[in-house]
Chain A
């Protein structure tokens, strides 16, 4: 198979970027999309040219490194997968493929297709954790958690932090990313003591980092490689409202570890 690739090349954040066209020849249909790019890069390096910079690591859809916008869609044409899980058999022979980086103000470009996603880490640092010390934890079975609740927490916790939700959103909103973390912890009894401050601190960090706000268009769910549901954005909004109510009506409501989460 052969393909024509229009790839975004940009030497650095201060330089102007542009599309450069490359031909990918002798591509086998069993190659992954990234292996196809590898082979283009091998050709460039052998000629002494700089290869196309792109991110990848585990190549099995879990680390969240890979981050390409392929023909306008983050992670490419198929739902529920990362760029590294896309195979060339998905494309017709001779196709023209456009490859761009994640584009968002909060994700400054580093080089070519590589952007800086540390803003997502800083959102988690603002409160996406349970502050318990190592040691002294009670037995794991002391707090019973229903199967449904644990499964819902897991649905949310499956987020790989790739940032495709931001790249797909015209407002560059990370609502799905934040909603997933807030919901994951809100559904577990261990996460309840800090839920009020958590949601507020994380949303403040979202604003600080220059992300946009959610417009409820659900593009994020459509491109999420882990199929995280926009339901978790609804839970995020509810948690935020709840936090406002709790704050205005002191003293705080009693927190029971056995309370229903909903």
Chain B
């Protein structure tokens, strides 16, 4: 397997312009004869499908939800970054580029990140044109807020529902193309395999979730926009339907999977409660603009927070990172929370929590200001926990939230499989080892609106694509693979539910491959996971039939993939003998607990190739830093 990143040579600032000029174009007449499959309708998928439709391609678009508008991008709260410098506070494309590279702990590609910063400004204009009601100042101009890990105010937002509004913008553009019959929308249809013909991605096998019918869909190219895999941890902030199946199946067909161990654990979620809990709810990072994190200085201090005097509180982020305080990037904040809890100073049930305290801002600026800024979040907190955060501090604990890892793609967003493109969270490209807040929305829309529609054209114009029909043997055998797996799942008729296996593999990963990892734990996980997987195939209970609406069958199929994918995640974490970004190996830390990166051995993207029956094979794409000098990432 060869990893050619296809980064254009020359100055950083003009790489993308030159690439766009040298790319071949597809003539308008030929576009009509070309079909592109887009799987997933989040920010990346919906924006790509609508733009490809506008360009004249025939698009077939899939999502497992009942409507494309329900993709999980809808739940993003905080905002979207763009280097507009409307606040004139020193922002620029260069600074957004640098912040993102540094925030990612120097594990992403310079060229990709620079392009992302360049197109960020176009995204805002495009969204405004589509009717996204961004927050405005009294004078009518667009408003901004600040976010963790940066010192400028570059985040655009729609109250606490930015993801919703951006997605509805992309969804409305998609609806226009559906109406024009450029896009055929297939909701409640789940991709279950990728089909390769002559070494090229030429279609997918998908299951209609209502009728259970499994069918073949052919195309000239396939775009995956299927999101991240945080749900491999069972409890995460993701929607329960978010899953790894599409990208994992593509991996098994030959697409390299890059940096799977870079998983972001978000610091501010509501702590887990009892065993029945199905998801963790995020409290927006924007709360850290005014809230202060603390734990008691004494261990197992069970006093009410109000009874603990200031001198007996440890404002641990402010103490450890005086320059950024409570606004350090997510990976550092999460680890500091975990460290405090591991020392026995956590609060709430099981000691899994720290306080997020608004007493100071309430005292200084008053209840009304706090209510206007965070009212909906305080309400949400009260609804879930039954506690009033205006009276007592919130309790928060980290939760799996986003995955920087994903299918490997080159500068053109094409995977190692010709004709298979991967966009949004599903690819690995832009966030390195840690993503900064308000950057995922930016990346999803950059890929979908402005990058993929160019680069896919070049592939379609230059690749040799012979006509293929559904009767090709490759399609028949892919169909067979999918059908036999479904019947295998239904035949086990064991005694355990799929959820019980999901919970177990999630707990395993959380303990051994979560916020901190070590060699011993990872090796033990690598022996436990296959055993659990065997038990799944011996003892899972999936009621009902495959020829009908069967939610448990859908779910069991996804859990079966988690049980394989979890192993890949641990292999990657074990190989990376350094601490960088969200990946913290306990063996590699300084005396005061800060991560130790090892650029001499690990300044590379780890891209894993599937091999049947053996461990995955590692390929490395080395990361060259021509324009910024990797430094120790310090927020102290």
Contact = CB atoms under 8 A, between A and B. Distances in A.
Interface in B419-449: 449
A70 to B, nearest CB: 16
B365 interface: no
Given A59-B279, A190-B131, A65 B66 contact: yes
Given A130-B129, A137-B125, A62 B75 contact: yes
Contacts of A31: 274, 276
A138 interface: yes
Given A110-B210, A131-B176, A134-B51, A57 B128 contact: no
A244 B193 CA distance: 51
Interface string A39-81: 1001011101111010111111111110000000000000001
A132 B549 contact: no
A103 interface: no
Contact of B450 (A50, A51, A129, A135): A135
Given A57-B241, A129-B175, A30 B383 contact: no
A57 B175 contact: no
A102 to B, nearest CB: 12
Nearest to B542: A45
Interface in B317-349: none
A28 B128 CA distance: 45
Nearest to B64: A57
B70 interface: yes
Contacts of B279: 59-60
30 contacts: A30-B385, A31-B274, A31-B276, A38-B278, A50-B543, A51-B543, A57-B65, A57-B70, A57-B72, A57-B239, A58-B240, A59-B278, A63-B239, A85-B384, A110-B210, A117-B66, A125-B175, A128-B175, A129-B130, A132-B173, A137-B126, A144-B140, A145-B136, A154-B135, A157-B158, A158-B164, A161-B69, A188-B131, A188-B133, A190-B129
Interface string B500-543: 10000000000000000000000000000000000000000101
A150 interface: yes
A175 to B, nearest CB: 19
A189 B68 CA distance: 26
B557 interface: no
B130 A38 contact: no
Contacts of A161: 67, 69-70
Interface stretch (B10-18, B304-312, B491-499, B560-568): B491-499
Interface string A100-134: 00000000001100101110110011111111111
Nearest to B76: A62
A210 B109 CA distance: 53
Identify whether the interface residues of A are mostly helix, strand, loop, or mixed: loop
A80 B455 CA distance: 44
A56 B449 CA distance: 29
Given A63-B70, A141-B142, A134 B499 contact: no
Interface of A: 12, 28, 30-32, 34-36, 38-39, 42, 44-46, 48-51, 53, 55-65, 81, 85, 87, 89, 110-111, 114, 116-118, 120-121, 124-135, 137-141, 143-147, 150-151, 153-154, 157-158, 160-161, 184-185, 188, 190-191
B172 interface: yes
Interface string B107-141: 00000000000000010111111110111111111
Nearest to A144: B140
Given A38-B276, A117-B66, A134-B453, A141 B86 contact: yes
A141 B129 CA distance: 11
A31 B277 CA distance: 7
Contact of B159 (A51, A57, A146, A154): A154
Contacts of B146: none
Contacts of B74: 58, 62-63
Given A125-B175, A126-B179, A184-B133, A42 B499 contact: yes
B125 A160 contact: no
B138 to A, nearest CB: 5
Given A57-B65, A64-B70, A132 B138 contact: no
Which 3 pairs across A and B sit closest by C-beta, in order of nearness?
A: A144-B140, A129-B172, A137-B129
B276 A190 contact: no
A156 to B, nearest CB: 8
Contacts of A132: 129-130, 173
A120 B171 CA distance: 13
A152 B296 CA distance: 44
A251 B274 CA distance: 66
A137 B122 contact: yes
Nearest to B77: A62
A121 B543 contact: no
Contacts of A46: 495-497, 541
Contacts of B278: 32, 34-35, 38, 59
A208 B370 CA distance: 46
B189 to A, nearest CB: 12
Given A45-B543, A62-B164, A65-B66, A130 B50 contact: no
A234 B609 CA distance: 59
A145 to B, nearest CB: 5
A147 B142 CA distance: 9
A124 B131 contact: no
A28 B173 CA distance: 44
Given A59-B278, A87-B386, A129-B172, A118 B453 contact: no
A60 B136 contact: no
B548 interface: yes
B549 A134 contact: no
A153 B172 CA distance: 15
Given A121-B68, A134-B50, A111 B276 contact: no
Contacts of B178: 125
Nearest to B136: A150
A5 to B, nearest CB: 16
A127 B178 CA distance: 11
B44 to A, nearest CB: 13
A140 B173 contact: no
A34 B46 CA distance: 29
Nearest to B141: A141
B231 to A, nearest CB: 11
Contact of A146 (B69, B140, B453, B551): B140
Contacts of A62: 74-75, 161, 163-164
Contacts of A28: 273-274, 276
A60 B75 contact: yes
Given A62-B164, A85-B380, 8 more contacts: A57-B239, A59-B240, A63-B74, A117-B66, A121-B67, A134-B449, A137-B125, A147-B136
Given A62-B75, A62-B164, A63-B239, A140 B136 contact: no
Given A46-B495, A132-B129, A185-B131, A53 B541 contact: no
A151 B551 CA distance: 39
Given A31-B276, A134-B50, A135-B450, A51 B380 contact: no
A158 B161 CA distance: 8
B230 interface: no
A130 B126 contact: no
Contacts of A114: 549
A147 B133 CA distance: 10
A61 B450 CA distance: 30
A160 B164 contact: yes
B214 to A, nearest CB: 18
A51 B47 CA distance: 36
Contact of B549 (A81, A111, A130, A154): A111
A56 B65 CA distance: 10
B84 to A, nearest CB: 8
